[in-house]
Structure 1
Amino acid sequence: MKLIRLAPDAREVTAPRRSTVRNGPIELAVFEYGPRDSRTETVVLIHGWPDTHHLWNAVVPLLADRFHVVAYDVRGHGQSTDPAGVDDFALAELAKDLFAVIDAVSPDQPAHVVAHDWGSVTAWDAVCEPGAANRIASFTSISGPNLDHLGKWVRDRLSNPTPRNLWGPISQLLSSAYTGFFKLPVIPDAFFRVAGTERIWTQALRIMEAMPDQHLEFSETLRADMISGLRYYRANIVERLLHPRERRTEVPVQLIVNTRDVAVRPAGYDDTGRWVADLRRVDVAAGHWLPYSRPELIAELATTFIESLTTESDTAATKESL
């Protein structure tokens, strides 16, 4: 893949245009950067647990000179509404939030989506909804699988239990062991009330990702976000893995697969092409938090992907007119 080299010195985040988007009772804090006009395509960035829109602070300036860039705090995080129930964090509800943001910030044309961790899991649910291609132009997924696809991958491997087939689900189970702790009542909440400090989380990421501290930036709501976001795990994992749905999409998807990801093993994406009409995959020798460790790579890959789709669309339109 030929990458488009972006300016390496564009590191400062300009002051965003702050607004609020409503989805029923949920108010989502939305932050916009770069030009917003009919000639400029929109890129929506979605973070995961336990981050906020701050996750993208090093990525935004690398995109905002080419695109209308939008980041938002997902429900239960940062400046957005924190609903009370576990069911409020079901993927269907999170996907509705994404569509509400897209409808507000890009009402006249589909938006491109770049998402990480649970933000990516959410976007997977959205792009598999009927008519999603009318609202989402492309999806770049980072460290967050489609849980239905993952559930079917596990079932298929276990139905033919060769050593190679068994190793994939076993390795993913080992990598996901922490989710069992997160799903417990009371105990993980109490743990993060004590351990959910910026100092401890910085140390944890430095150990897991081997990155300098200066690459990390968190919201002042970090501890509350850690606790609130546990409902992602409680609302979705068991249901989707035990009862996976047949979920397909016509939205072009780019998988950025981090081969050193401590949470999501690369093998879990091996069957993704069964459900995606237009799939591109890029394997990167990096850990889970790529927006912190390699923001320039995310910007380059996303820009190249989006511009390749634009070129293909223009070529197809030219052929039709001849």
Structure 2
Amino acid sequence: MAELHVNGLNVAYDISGDGPPVLMLHGFPQTRAMWDPIVPSLEQRFTVVRADLRGYGATDKPAEVSEYSFRAMAADQVALMQELGFPQFHAVGHDRGARTVHRMALDHPQAVLSICLMDIVPTHLLLDQLTQQVARAYYHWFFLSQPAPFPERMIQADPDHYFESCLLGWGASQIRDFDPRLLEQYRTAWRDPETIRGMCNDYRAALDVDFDLDAQDLDRQITCPALILYGADGAMARAFDIPGTWRARCTDMRAAGIPGGHFFPDTAPKETSKAILEFLSET
């Protein structure tokens, strides 16, 4: 692990490979370790940077909810890449990492060469047009965003039970589908009370900060090439036409379903790697 102080905090990252730079950002409730099975197929042709988002893993965890917007998270990662000598780069994100990459493409279009968003619909759309089906599947948005310390105390009673229920709760996964080595790294991270607080603040900021920021940018488009990947058997694919939610928001978009549910990068790493590599090679 390496670490750099950028944008007012220490960001943990790993870097490997050689070639054009690719930034890879994880989602909830994971860490940059989620990309370990995918990196080997990319690093032969690309320089791959995997970083922990603020509040997650080994990256710093600010105190205030307002510091957890996707705008702030995107600024962290752009600053990291610039410090590493990459003023322009490709960006890949899953879940919260994908929401960070979406905001990055809007706030820093000069830095982002292409984006890959995995298993999300736009944040504003999900919250503004919330359905019973989505609310039931994605209840954690509203549990984690409750005022502190309520969700933190509930989760700290048994972090493994709670977060593993999240890994299995969004379609087509069993605990045996996850690499035991990666699971242990996730568990080490999410057992930390400060990480639990950081993840709750991430979700609080989505409702308190990001919704309004996204409302201001509803008419803006992503101008770089975009790949939309989604779990073909996941909760989002059952509730939305995922490519359709992004089509008007992108000037150059392609999409594909990957076998499995929300956590298909963990459960189908070969298929995920192939899709990313083909897209990056084309762009």
TM-score by length of 2: 0.85
Q: Structure 1 segments of 4 or more deviating over 6 A?
A: none
Q: Does 1:58 align with 2:22?
A: no
Selected match of 2:157 from 181, 190, 194? 194
- Quote how far apart the aligned CAs of 1:32 are: 0.4
Q: 1:183 touches 1:234 (CA, 8 Å); kept in 2?
A: yes
Q: Does 1:295 align with 2:278?
A: no
Q: Which residue of 2 aligns with 1:249?
A: 222
- Quote how far apart the aligned CAs of 1:21 are: 2.5
- Quote how far apart the aligned CAs of 1:80 are: 1.2
- Quote how far apart the aligned CAs of 1:104 are: 2.3
Q: Does 1:270 align with 2:233?
A: no
Compared CA separation, residues 172 and 204, structure 1 to 2 (3 A): closer
SS at match of 1:69: strand
Selected match of 1:286 from 260, 269, 278? 260
- CA separation in 1, counterparts of 2:174 and 2:71? 35
- CA separation in 2, counterparts of 1:271 and 1:77? 28
Q: Which residue of 2 aligns with 1:122?
A: 100
Selected match of 1:148 from 107, 124, 128? 124
- CA separation in 2, counterparts of 1:57 and 1:211? 18
Per-residue CA shift, 1:233-283, capped at 9, x if unaligned? 101135544672323210111000213223674335523111210010112
- Quote how far apart the aligned CAs of 1:202 are: 4.5
Percentage identity across paired residues of the two chains: 19
Q: Which residue of 2 aligns with 1:112?
A: 90
Q: Which residue of 1 aligns with 2:74?
A: 95
Unaligned runs of at least 5 residues, structure 2: none
Per-residue CA shift, 1:280-315, capped at 9, x if unaligned? 011234111112101111211111011112xxxxxx
- CA separation in 2, counterparts of 1:187 and 1:236? 18
Q: Which residue of 1 aligns with 2:189?
A: 221
Unaligned runs of at least 5 residues, structure 1: 1-17, 155-167, 310-322
SS at match of 2:278: helix
Q: Which residue of 2 aligns with 1:163?
A: none
Q: 2:259 touches 2:268 (CA, 8 Å); kept in 1?
A: no
Q: Which amino acid aligns with 1:189?
A: E
Q: Which residue of 2 aligns with 1:175?
A: 137
Q: Does 1:236 align with 2:206?
A: yes
Structure with max Cα Rg:
1
- CA separation in 2, counterparts of 1:68 and 1:272? 28
Compared CA separation, residues 78 and 125, structure 1 to 2 (3 A): same
- CA separation in 2, counterparts of 1:249 and 1:213? 34
Q: Does 1:212 align with 2:201?
A: no
- Quote how far apart the aligned CAs of 1:106 are: 4.3
SS at match of 2:281: helix
Per-residue CA shift, 1:106-137, capped at 9, x if unaligned? 425x21111111000111011012x51x2111
Count of residues paired in the alignment: 270
Q: 1:23 touches 1:100 (CA, 8 Å); kept in 2?
A: yes
